[in-house]
Amino acid sequence: MKSECVTVYRDRFWGNTMFNRFGFMSPRWGAFAEGRAHNFEKGALKYVILDLLKDKPAHGYEIIRALGERSHGIYSPSPGSVYPILQLLADLGYLTTDKIESKKIYTITDTGKQYLKNNKESLDRINSFLEQRWPSDIKFNQWQQTFQEMRRLGQRLQGRLHELDAEQLSAIREIVNKSIHDIDAVIERSKKS
């Protein structure tokens, strides 16, 4: 039974860890739907990193933080995925590195800017994909409010689970199932328009 499985994931909207025995707010919800929320195509992260560095030089953790901020916390790459790409870009001559206060600062070179310009179509496609996958500020605020309400519902049920009898649980399950049906109808309507 699914309730025996404990789902644990980092909830970046509220900065805490949620444990869920019933699949509520599990990785099937919202931005977590496909497991890896970003689903970058192979090699795409190098374009995103170069695009970030074209505005100003940065060290590795600033790049990681910028990607996290750009995605509203939905995607935060690991150092193990960013630093090898930074090294590759430096080896290709697209970046230079300077050590300032024991931190490596990466700066895009003219060759890197030209590479970005030559691959504008790829970068535009990636940015378009990310704009669809990563919410705008307005959409993020709506997501956050929706998830806060769902979290509130989960907390209310979890806190009173021991007080409810079988009839009450059945009535609540009916309400939740109707809500799921209504939400599915809203989603389907938006797909048709």
Give the model confidence (pLDDT) of 48-76 as tens digits.
Answer: 899 999 989 999 999 998 887 777 666 77
Given 90, 117, 133, the domain boundary residue is 133
Q: Using CA atoms, how far apart are residues 175 and 28, in angstroms rounded to an integer?
A: 20
The residue whose two tokens read 């399950």 is: 173
Overall average pLDDT of the 93-106 stretch:
93
Average model confidence (pLDDT) for the chain?
A: 76
Query: Greater confidence, 153 or 10?
Result: 153
CA 76-81-83 angle, 5° bins: 110
58: part of which helix (H) or strand (E)? Answer: strand 58-59
| pLDDT tier at 178, thresholds 50, 70, 90 | very high
Question: Where do the H-state alpha helices sit in the chain?
Answer: 44-53, 60-70, 79-91, 110-118, 120-133, 137-160, 166-192
Q: Using CA atoms, how far apart are residues 193 and 188, in angstroms rounded to an integer?
A: 9
Res 87 pLDDT > 90: yes
Same domain, 127 and 150: no
Overall average pLDDT of the 135-143 stretch:
69
Question: How do strand 95-100 and strand 7-11 relate by DSSP bridges?
Answer: unpaired
Same domain, 125 and 143: no
| pLDDT computed for residue 93 by the predictor | 96
Same domain, 64 and 114: yes
Rounded to the nearest 10 degrees, the angle between the axes of helix 44-53 and helix 110-118 is 130
Same domain, 18 and 92: no
Same domain, 74 and 126: yes
If one counts the domains in the chain, the total is: 2
- Count of CB atoms within 10 A of residue 104's CB? 16
Query: Greater confidence, 22 or 112?
Result: 112
Q: What is the pTM of this model?
A: 0.55
Domain residues for the domain of 16 are 2-35+138-192
Say which residues have a Cβ less than 8 Å from residue 4's Cβ, sequence separation at least 6.
Answer: 21
Given 107, 133, 159, the domain boundary residue is 133
